[in-house]
Amino acid sequence: MLSTCRFAAVAALVSAVTGTQAQSLIVNGGFETPVVPVASYQLFATGSPLGKWTVVGQAGDVAVINSQFTGGGFTYNPKAGEQVLDLTGTTRTFTGVQQRVITTPGQSYVLTFWTSNLYNNGGSSTVEVLVNGVTAMRATNFSNAGLGQAWKLFRLQFTAPSDQTVVTFMNADPSNDDANGLDEVTMVPATN
Ligand SMILES: [Ca+2]
Ligand SMILES: [Ca+2]
Query: Can you give the pLDDT at residue 22?
Result: 84
Residue 172 C-alpha to ligand 2 middle, in angstroms? 9
Cα separation, 145 vs 137, in Å, equals 24
- What separation in Å is there between the alpha carbon of 39 and the centre of ligand 1? 14
Q: How far is the CA of 181 from the centre of ligand 2 (A)?
A: 8
Ligand nearest to the CA of 32: 1
Q: Of the ligands numbered here, which is closest to the C-alpha atom of 36?
A: 1
Q: Which CATH architecture has domain 2-189?
A: Sandwich (2.60)
DSSP 8-state symbol, 24 = P
174 alpha carbon – ligand 2 mean position (Å):
8
DSSP letter (8 states) at residue 108 = E
Does residue 8 carry a pLDDT above 90?
A: no
For residue 185, which ligand has an atom nearest its CA? Answer: 1
Using one digit for the tens of pLDDT, what is the confidence trace for 20-66? Answer: 468 999 999 999 999 999 999 999 999 999 999 999 999 999 999 99
DSSP helix, strand, coil percent of the chain (3-state; round to 5): 10, 45, 45
Q: Determine the distance separating the centroid of ligand 2 and the alpha carbon of 145, expressed in angstroms.
A: 12
Strands of 41-45's sheet in order across:
41-45, 61-66, 83-86, 181-189, 108-117, 150-159
How far is ligand 2, taken at its centre, from the CA of residue 33, in Å?
23
The number of the ligand nearest the C-alpha atom of 183 reads: 1
Q: Point out the ligand nearest to the CA of residue 79.
A: 1
25, 116, 134, 40: which is closest to 82 by C-alpha? 40
Tell me, yes or no, if the pTM score tops 0.75. yes
Residue-wise pLDDT tens digits, 70-107: 988 999 999 999 999 999 999 999 999 999 999 999 99
173 CA to centre of ligand 2 in angstroms: 6
What contacts 90, CB < 8 A, 6 or more positions away?
A: 43, 61, 63
Q: Are 85 and 31 in contact, with CB atoms under 8 Å apart?
A: yes
Task: Tell me what pLDDT residue 11 has.
Answer: 42
